Every structure is written in C-alpha cells, then in structure tokens.
Amino acid sequence: MADTPTVPQPTQNTARKVKFVITRQDTPEGKPYAEEFDLPYRPGMNVISALMEIQRNPVNANGGSTAPVCWESNCLEEVCGACSMVINGKPRQACSALVDQLEQPIRVAPMATFPVVRDLVIDRSRMFNALKKVKAWIPIDGTYDLGAGPRMPEKKRQWAYELSKCMTCGVCLEACPNVNDKTDFIGPAALSQVRLFNAHPTGEMNADDRLDTLMEGTDGIEGCGNSQNCVRACPKGIPLTTSIAELNKQTTKRMFKRWFAQ
C-alpha cells in the first residue's frame, strides 16, 4: 500500500505584535492625524524603545514607508522630564511606560497644553518662562567662591528635597484644567518652586519679590482652581497642593504687610 503523501501545511507567523496608534503632526501649523504601527514585541520594552524601533524601520501597519516619528528623550530613567507625552489618555514619561503594563492598542499623543513642534515634540516655553518670572533660582553676587552657606534645618531640608525632585516634565501642567490657551496661569510647577527657593537660606532674601509676582494678575496663585489633578499626575510624587496651600498663606501675610506699610 502506497504511503499517503504529506501535504505541507501553511506556516503561520505567531510572533507577538504590539499595536501603536500615534498622533502625528508634520508642522506646528499642520493638522494632527493618527498613524498605526505594528511592532515586534520584546520583553521589557517601553514606549521609547518602540519609538526607536519605528525610527529604525519606519513602516506603518499598512506596510507603507513613512517618516520616522519625532520625539524627545534624554536620560531614559525618569529624571530629565524630556519624554513627556500622553499615553493611553494619561500624561506621563514614555521611558517608564512599560508595554506589558499598557492596554492595547497603545495610543500615544503629544501633551495638548503645549504647542506642538512636530509629532510628539512640544514647546515647553510656557513652563520655562513661568520659572523665569518667579525667579526660580538662588542668586549669587559675583562668580567668586562664597564659601559654605548657611545650613538648612534638617526638618526643612527633608521636605525641600521633595520639592527639588521636579524635573520640569510639564505633566502637572497638562493635568491642570486651569492651564490652557485661554489663561496665563503659570501652573503648579512654578508655584512649587517658589516655595522651594523661598525656603532656601540664601534664596529667601528674594522671597517678597517672588510672592509679589504670584499676587499680580490672574496668572499667579489666583489662577489655581484647586482641582488637585497636579499632585495625582506628578510622576515624582511632589506634594504640589501642599506647596500651593502654603503659598496661599504666605501671599495673604504679604498682602496685609503691604497694606499696613502704605
């Protein structure tokens, strides 16, 4: 009896894929559009490594060649704040967003609070200008060695260190409903930095100037609506609402001091 010939079975590609839906924008004035990508899965991959794979092989889910997606990143360990974007509806750092912990398709978009430069690259000048406005630095007189400065009490140093963790990622501004294109509110990041530098033994000599800045117009502390989204969104767990509450007290005292000085 003749052997029955074996019919070769079609092989199936069982390699696991990860689907990304990325909101893109070719120019600052261009209209946003969505583009899908199917990427090979690798254990431990994050959103940044997925973007790097698209950069290496810029082919979309339809098999068509496309321009590599533009984004910003630097440290890749949630320290620099450069890779802020909206991932599955939540503003966060792309370097710490692990694919295994994200629902698919993974939707990636630029933060809407800031102007888009291209794709996922945004212009965070609004936040940096706010830091300039409140003098978020320690002034020194000259460039010579001033020696050891005054020591900060340990209890104050501990909470001040928590405020110093800010990496200017802009996530708190993205989460705040009061920061938008219809307001000039400086946002929770700059407010928290005012509390930090006013607590510094050297920085406190400019404390009144910073508080006066927060009391001018509606772009200062008056612009806060107390939604408390910022403290929930902050990737560093900075007590932003605690700082804002403390600044409310400090600006009130400053207001009465100015009033009685007239």
Query: How far apart are alpha carbons 161 and 164 in whole angstroms?
Result: 5
Closest residue by Cα to residue 170 from 214, 226, 126: 126
Residue-level pLDDT at 5 = 54
Half-sphere exposure at residue 93, Cβ-oriented, CA atoms within 13 angstroms: 18
Query: How far apart are alpha carbons 152 and 199 in whole angstroms?
Result: 9
Rounded alpha-carbon distances, angstroms, from residue 156 to 139, 152, 162, 195: 20, 7, 10, 11
Q: Which two tokens stand for residue 74?
A: 């630097």
Q: Phi and psi for 157 in degrees, rounded to 5?
A: -60, -35
CB distance 233 to 172 below 8 Å: yes
Closest residue by Cα to residue 211 from 225, 227, 222, 202: 222
Residue-level pLDDT at 3 = 56
Residue-level pLDDT at 11 = 43
CB distance 102 to 87 below 8 Å: yes
Closest residue by Cα to residue 241 from 179, 180, 188: 188
Query: How far apart are alpha carbons 90 and 85 in whole angstroms?
Result: 8
Q: Which domains are seen in the chain, by residue range?
A: 17-122 (3.10.20.30), 125-140+149-261 (1.10.1060.10)
Mean pLDDT in each 10-residue stretch from start to end of the chain (262 residues)? 52 74 97 97 96 96 96 94 97 97 97 97 96 90 74 92 96 96 95 96 92 91 94 96 96 93 82
Residue 59 DSSP class? B
Residue-level pLDDT at 150 = 81
Residue-level pLDDT at 13 = 45
